Structures are given as C-alpha cells and as structure tokens.
Structure 1
C-alpha cells in the first residue's frame, strides 16, 4: 500500500514537473523570440517564417546608440536607478525606526504611512508636479528622482521584517556601547539580507522601467529614461522592427540577469514574509 502511494506521488511530481516546464517554456517563448529577432533585419522579421535568424547582425544594437540617443537614456536611467537605492536605505531606516523605537505617535504615524498605499500614484502626480514646479525642479533629473525616493510599501516591508528581530540583540549591542548607526549598518542590515534582496530588485525594476513620471516631469529629450526613449523609438521607427526588438531586449535582459543572480534571496525573502 505504501509502495503504491509512493509510486502515485512520484508520478504526480513528474506530471507537475512536465506541466510547469511546458508552461515555463510558453512564458519564455515571446521573450526568446524578441531577443533572437533583435539580431535580424527588419526585412527578415517581416518576410521570414524562421524562428532563428538566417543572417545574424548586431547592426540593430549599433543603431540604437549611433542613430538614436540611447546612450543618454541609459545614463539617465542608471542615475535614477542608483538614486533609488539611496531611497532603499531611507525606507530601511524608517522601517527600523517603526520596528525598534518607541516614540509618541508611532502607531498613528505608521497607519498614516500605510494609508498612503491606498491612494493611486496618478492622484498625487499633479500636486507633486506643482510643488516641484515651485521649487524649479521640473525638467531636471532631481525632479524625477525625489518623489520616488521613499515609499509606503518599502517602509511596511522593512518594518514587518525588522519587528521579528529579537529586541535582546539590539539591547545587547547598546549595552556593549554600540551606537545606533553602528547597530543599523552592522547588525540590522546583515540580518535583513532577504528583505533587502526583495526590495532591492523591486527598486531596480521600478527605476529601470520608470516611464510615466519622467514623461510628465521632463520636456527635454536629454532627461528621458529608457522606457520613454523606447516609446519615442517606436514612434519614430514604426517599421524598423529589428531596432524596436533590440531596444526592448536591451531593457528586459538586465532585469532577467538581476533576478537570476539574486533569486535565492528573493524567494527566501518572500517565503519569510508569507510565513509571517
């Protein structure tokens, strides 16, 4: 009886594995086709039925930077993404404060922070734009960066994780004479690697894919991000499919690489949050 149940269990696992493999391949297929098409000419994409390129070429990627302004878009996107990681540490500091410091109005302030998660970002865009306009920060990289530095979800994520770090560890460090900055950077952050990985990849994706706010705040092409530049590319080269595929691949591949590198910590971080 036990042997029969084990055989059924093995067969079930094999079937589940086969189904997941097929579904995974179907999910990857459009991205694989996009990547391979970026090495084709526009004529081959339009006329050829072949999945693989018949004549490999990297001219599409060369044209992105020679005929377009992708070098400017990449620079702006990297600056915005790097600045977003400063916001990551600000979120971590705020989450640590809510988790481990007892101050007047803490619960009310935390609830107010959570309440902002229910307000769509599109609702606050006009007020934020008017404020930045008064500060003369419209059409600047700083104006693009500032509104996204701190977010309620990031603060909530860090607060939930850090609340489960034993208070005895923090108190022991304080008794040993460690300062709050030392405790945060040398004790709390190393323990928080899983949630840092989760929030880190979300921060990277948010910065790398920034589109709507840069489009609104910037009216000069020299401040456009990759997403805005890709949309502009599609408008200017509607029939150059190879160039569009190269631009899309250039945006997607870094995110995939980041996920592959940090997937262990990302999955671990999400599992910890689900367990809580």
Structure 2
C-alpha cells in the first residue's frame, strides 16, 4: 500500500542543519506584509524590517534555514505518495523561547502520527529545532493525503474550535499586496501555483493563490500588532487549520477573541469574497 503506517511510524528520525541571517528574517517579514500598512519607517514596522532591534515573528520558523522543506516529509520508508493528492491541512508551532534574528540549529524530524479519515489519510510531521542553548521550537505539520484513507487506523481527535457567539474583541483588516506571493516565494516556496497564471488555471484557479503559510504569517502579525503591542517574543504557540484559499490583492479580515488570560481565538477570512474562510480553528497562546 502507498502508506504503511507501521513502517512509517517506526522509521528513524532525520536530522539536518539549519542556518539563517538577519536578511532572511527581514525578507520573510516583507513577504508577510511588514511595512505595507503604515509608513515603512514607522518604528512599529521597523522592528520587523530593520536590523537595529530586529525581532522575529514566530511563524518565520516555517521557512528558517530552508524551513519545513528540509524536514523531508515524504522521504522515508512506508510513504509512497502522489504529491498531486497532498494538501497542507494545518500548522502548529510551539516556541520554547524567542527566535534569534540570526542563528544555527539542528532540526530533528519524524512522523508523529498517521490518522485514517476514511477518504483521506492525515500525516502529522513533527520537527524539533535546538541550538547551542537548547530546545528552540517545535513544528507540527498536518498533511492530508486524499484517497489514502480506509486502512483501519485511528481517526484522531477533532481539532474544530467553536468561536464565541459574541462580537470579536479585536478586529483588523489587512489589505494584501497584489505582488505578495511573489515576495513571499523568495523565502523558499517556489511552487508555480503562486506565481504562474497558466499553472494556476491547470490547478483549477482563475489566478495564482497566496501561499497558505503566507496567510498564516500575515494573520500572526495582525494578532501581534493588535493584541500584543507589537511584541512578537510574547507568542508561545500558534496553531491553525487551512480552511480555504486567498488571492493576492484581497483584504484579510482577522477577528480575535480573548479566551482566558493567555489564549486568543482567531479567524481569518476574505473581505471581498463575503468572508470566505481562509484560516480556521486558530489559536494563539502568549505571555500575558
């Protein structure tokens, strides 16, 4: 069978070296819209785009040093997958401490779980990074593989999160540049779906779509700027489900609900398409 859960889960973890510099962080921040919503030299934006006092948005870890691509999600025993059947279903990051603006780390990656959703299989790839000072961050990447379910495995727990019925406590609308995907792809995701109109049409879209992980970064920046006084180091974890597509040039509506002293519930939708969902089941935990 294309997926053999027992073999895949027993495969040894893989390690790879990561390295990043300040310019990588700045390029990533530009790729998720830093400097576009206020004057570029506003001090609140320069904290993302200028090496003096540069902070790191935690979602940067998805591209740091080559990012999740270096985890080699499908390059292991027990997985023979048609990439045309693969969807990025969800993403979670846990920060053990703030990410340095330049650094080196060792990334250790393994398959943490295989779930049987009936018509699809869900793989959970876990990547853990550590540097000379110890654990740095953990990423869980949820991958849907259509047509590979039905093997009799565990279904896994539901991650659906009901939003409060009250109006959001915070709200931010973020216009996304028409060239945002072209900027973001410079951080390492070269999929032509996000740049080539002809390729996008072959995939069933009228035009190129924005990277899901770009929407992920845009949303986290909106949360940090709106609720955490622009201090990205306060973020402790950030999880989401990719619920729909988003097109460059649209406006991302981010709604945020306070859920306890250190937890935020978030939704992200497209303003121009009647609040079509983009990110759902989204949670940010933080240092109060």
TM normalised by structure 2 equals 0.22
Structure showing greater relative contact order (alpha-carbon pairs closer than 8 Å, 6 or more residues apart): 1
| Higher helix proportion | 1
Structure with bigger gyration radius: 1
| Higher strand proportion | 2
